[in-house]
Chains A and B, each alone.
Chain A
Amino acid sequence: MEGEVVMLEIARLPRLGRSSARLMVMNGRDTTHTTLRELVEYIPADSLLVVNDAGTIPASFHGYVGSLPIELRLVRNLDPSYRSIDSWQALIFYDGNWKERTEDRLDPDFLEIGDLLQFGDLMAEVISIDHSSKRYAKIRLLGDTEELWKKIYRFGKPIQYSHLEEELALWDVQTIFASRPVALEAPSASFQLTWDLLDELQKKGVNLVSITHAAGISSMGLQDLEQLLPLEESYWITNSTADLINEYHSRGRPIIAIGTSVTRALESNMTEFGTIKPGQYSTTLIIDQQYHRKVVTGLFTGMHMPEESHMKMLTNFIDEERLLHGYNEAVDLGYMWHEYGDVNLIL
């Protein structure tokens, strides 16, 4: 994406529920800068908000192959239903710590198919290794499902962000909607929301429903692999959620997605079935400027870096020039970027 966005302020502390967060509202022809606590003013009373209730798994494990130190990151469950949690697409790095950027991490050149990886009591076997990079491998965690959940939560840590000043704890990566643990990185659009804010919206008449979307990782650290993102991701839609979305859709009422993961799931489902159909499905949909949007009318999201694929999705909701103009204003006003930063509503 071309643009003159420079000198971005990064949110470096993992703080949640800041109703004082800055909010950029792009509505019709206006761009307004306000704070999140004023959100209720900008969401129409007849709107439906759709949130992602995925909890975030501690998907990063530090351990060894033999005596060589490695980090394993779970990237995608190869069972999209999550009934079993043993087989994963994974990233494996040599050594390193959370303050190093993923881009600077080294491949585990020594890795071979059949190698046993050890993270405390959690063992994994390397099933296959990608031909282009040794860091991209399929692994199998050893144990039954109950045992694996126990060990994942015992030995895993949240995938870290090197731009933060603090190491993330498990509670730092759970949104206020976090329920079933299926996300590998947090669906961070809702990090700054609070139930008090949602209560206010509901009092106004706004309705709230949830889907579950197994949000995947944001960075692979290598250009070749980066092009694979976003990977196929599982999502679940309940009957009641589907009914309500279909009702709002048929009446032409606003349907506002909280986050890009929700947008992908709903658009993918509507594209595939022509209606929102309940059940468990997977999506590989990429939403860019050209994509013909079918169900989501508005998007609430964080402040994205210009080079991110998420920015392409934003240009589907708003003219690129206006988006960049707004982003430049946000830079001047000192907005904070990234997962724990400020927020943007596009209607």
Chain B
Amino acid sequence: MIETQANTLDYWKGKRVLITGGTQGLGKALTEHLHQLGAQVVIVARGTDALEKFRESFPDNLYTIQADIGEKEAIHKISARTIAMLEGIDVVINNASSLGPVPLRTLASLQCEEFEEVLQVNLLGPFRLIKALLPYMKLNNGGLIVNISSDAAVNAYPTWGPYSVSKAALDHLTAIWQEELRDDNITFLSVDPGDMHTQMHLDAIPDANTDELYQPIDVARELTEFLSQQLDTVRYTASEWRERL
């Protein structure tokens, strides 16, 4: 365990990391933990107040960008400012997600525009962001791209339509990027963190038994350890990646 911890520290120290949705839930926990491990982190989020708070709590090695990952206009601003501040990029964690309207609705009750909005945030946003950061990685020894997935990407749960479809597509996007960029030393991963005690989960399932949910900070600790390993598969379920610890 101590040895693993040393490897994890070694891996993350000085790493230049971009995390979307970095002020809530898993994103917040990952940001705090990676900062603690010595990474330089840029977080992207929509809410100005939460970003300000982060900035005050972590004056060094943490930068904030207020942007909506679902907006096409935001992408080059995010990628350029990230590379300018960190003088490069090593790891991208596409963590920001939208459930669509809550309480969740069946597809029959969903407006087409609401579906589109979810795809913008959960699928096209990550695609555009990867595309904008790819040149640096292709020209400078590769990198790691982690797309946060869900078991809803595989299982068809009623009322989870847009989220579920977007995550299934994100998984496939991850797999195709990996196939296409195998020779560029860029590792693409799609990771299901498991059901966590977050606001998003409560929005989706208000009566969930919170005792059965993972705590984001525990997931962040384990996930950073997992990501510091040599990995050979593109998609990991909640149990598969934990087995590797």
Interface residues of A in 167-219 (CB under 8 A from B): 169-171, 174-181, 195, 208-210
Kindly provide the distance from the CB of B180 to the nearest chain A CB, expressed in whole angstroms. 9
Q: Are B136 and A53 in contact (CB under 8 A)?
A: yes
Residue of B nearest to A51 (CB): B139
For A53, the chain B residues whose CB sits under 8 A away are 135-136, 139
- A150 touching B65 in the complex, CB below 8 Å, given contacts A170-B77, A179-B136: yes
- Cβ contacts B75-112/A at 8 Å (1 or 0 each): 11101110111011000000000000000000000000
- B12 interface hit (Cβ, 8 Å): no
How many interface residues does B have (CB within 8 Å)? 20
- B163 interface hit (Cβ, 8 Å): no
- A149 interface hit (Cβ, 8 Å): yes
Q: Are A177 and B135 in contact (CB under 8 A)?
A: yes
- B63 interface hit (Cβ, 8 Å): yes
Provide the bound-state CA to CA distance between A170 and B83, in Å: 16
- A174 touching B139 in the complex, CB below 8 Å, given contacts A149-B84, A153-B81, A179-B83: no
Q: Are B80 and A181 in contact (CB under 8 A)?
A: yes
Interface residues of B in 172-225 (CB under 8 A from A): none
| Number of residue pairs spanning A and B whose beta carbons lie under 8 angstroms apart | 54
How many interface residues does A have (CB within 8 Å)? 26
For B140, the chain A residues whose CB sits under 8 A away are 179, 238
Q: Are A146 and B87 in contact (CB under 8 A)?
A: no
Q: Are B81 and A177 in contact (CB under 8 A)?
A: no
Contact of B84 among A170, A175, A180 (CB under 8 A): A180
For A145, the chain B residues whose CB sits under 8 A away are 85
Q: Are A181 and B84 in contact (CB under 8 A)?
A: yes
- A254 interface hit (Cβ, 8 Å): no
For B135, the chain A residues whose CB sits under 8 A away are 53, 175-179
Q: Are A180 and B139 in contact (CB under 8 A)?
A: no
Residue of B nearest to A198 (CB): B138
Kindly provide the distance from the CB of B145 to the nearest chain A CB, expressed in whole angstroms. 16
Q: Are B139 and A170 in contact (CB under 8 A)?
A: no
For B139, the chain A residues whose CB sits under 8 A away are 51, 53, 177, 179, 208-210
For A209, the chain B residues whose CB sits under 8 A away are 139
A–B complex contacts, Cβ < 8 Å, 10 sampled:
A145-B85, A149-B85, A176-B135, A178-B135, A179-B140, A180-B84, A181-B81, A181-B83, A208-B139, A238-B140
